Amino acid sequence: MSRGAFLVILGKQGAGKGTQCVRLARNYAVPHVATGDMLRSEVRAKTELGLKAKAAMDAGELIPDEVVTAMVALRLDRDGAISKGFILDGYPRTVAQAEQLDTLLEPRKLDLVIDIEVPTGVVLRRLAARRVCLDCQAVYSTSSPPKVNWTCDICGGEVVQRDDDTEVAILRRLNLYEEETAPLIDFYSKKGILTTINGVGSTEVVTQRMIKEIDLALKNAGDT
Ligand code: AMP
């Protein structure tokens, strides 16, 4: 592929964004930039940002827009992602962040924003069963655990339940999604770069649905 892909993946918590983004990043050879993973690394490393962010994250609240955008700006600057391409997962999460992202990318524009649609009942079940590797953030579930004793198949890290996958924090995050993140659907559809895909189905089937849409968007961008 001659040019990278510039993508944003939206979807409720538990819609499968993380799992799908890892696969898409491999397919399009661009970095997977997941703000939740980045913030959890900051928390584990006990950096100033991590110490400030932990309480809000555990409660399912959002980190201030400017703080997250500054973190994303630094990440996109690294290894030239800002001009080579990226897949953003968990960012933007508010209209203010989406506007900040537009400014950050100027004059470039996003190729596509994909909203992975999954019914709330399904995401609630997925989140309650979700387990993640503390080291590489690989996602497992109680019905599909690592092969050996909650040790990550990929890196050998410890696989645990996230601190914010409690019932109270999950409900708070889903409410915030409706209030703060769902308006992005309108924001991006007005720009004509939003597509919605059905997130129910096997991991591979959902990946193929996404690849089909991305390839089409990249082809159209190449044709114009
Ligand atoms: P996630 O792994 O995407 O579910 O993110 C976990 C937590 O990190 C969220 O509940 C927020 O507290 C914080 N977070 C991640 N991304 C953002 C963002 N774009 N804006 C504000 N807070 C964020």
Predicted pLDDT at 224? 63
Predicted structure pTM score: 0.92
Average confidence (pLDDT) over 19-43: 95
The finding on whether 126 has its CB within 6 A of some atom of ligand 1 is no
pLDDT for res 178: 92
Each domain of the chain, given as residue ranges in start order, spans: 6-223
- Quote the CATH superfamily of domain 6-223: P-loop containing nucleotide triphosphate hydrolases (3.40.50.300)
- Segment 192-200 shows an average pLDDT of 97
Contact 116, 17 (CB under 8 A): yes
What is the side-by-side strand order in the sheet with 86-89?
A: 32-34, 86-89, 6-10, 112-117, 194-198
Assign 176 to helix, strand or coil. helix
Find the length of the chain. Answer: 224
Q: Which of 12, 54, 131, 173 is catalytic?
A: 173
Annotation says 3 is catalytic: no
Q: Are strands 130-133 and 159-160 parallel, antiparallel or unpaired?
A: antiparallel
Q: What is the pLDDT of residues 128-177, one digit of tens each?
A: 999 999 999 899 999 999 999 999 999 999 999 998 998 899 999 999 99
Q: Give the confidence band of 184 by pLDDT, cuts at 50, 70, 90.
A: very high
Question: What beta strand segments (E) does the chain contain?
Answer: 6-10, 32-34, 86-89, 112-117, 130-133, 139-141, 159-160, 194-198
Determine whether the shortest distance from the Cβ of 63 to ligand 1 is under 6 A.
Answer: yes
pLDDT category of residue 113 using cuts at 50, 70 and 90: very high
Is the CB of residue 90 below 6 angstroms from any atom belonging to ligand 1?
yes
Examine the pLDDT at 1 and tell me if it is beyond 60. no
Is 26 marked active-site? no
> Longest C-alpha distance within the chain, in Å?
52
Nearest CA to ligand 1 atom 14: 36
Determine contact, residues 195/185, Cβ cutoff 8 Å. no
pLDDT tens column, 99-110: 999 999 999 999
The answer to whether the CB of 57 is under 6 A from ligand 1 is yes
| Mutation probe of ligand 1 site: the residue of 33, 39, 52, 104 with most atoms within 8 A of C-beta | 39
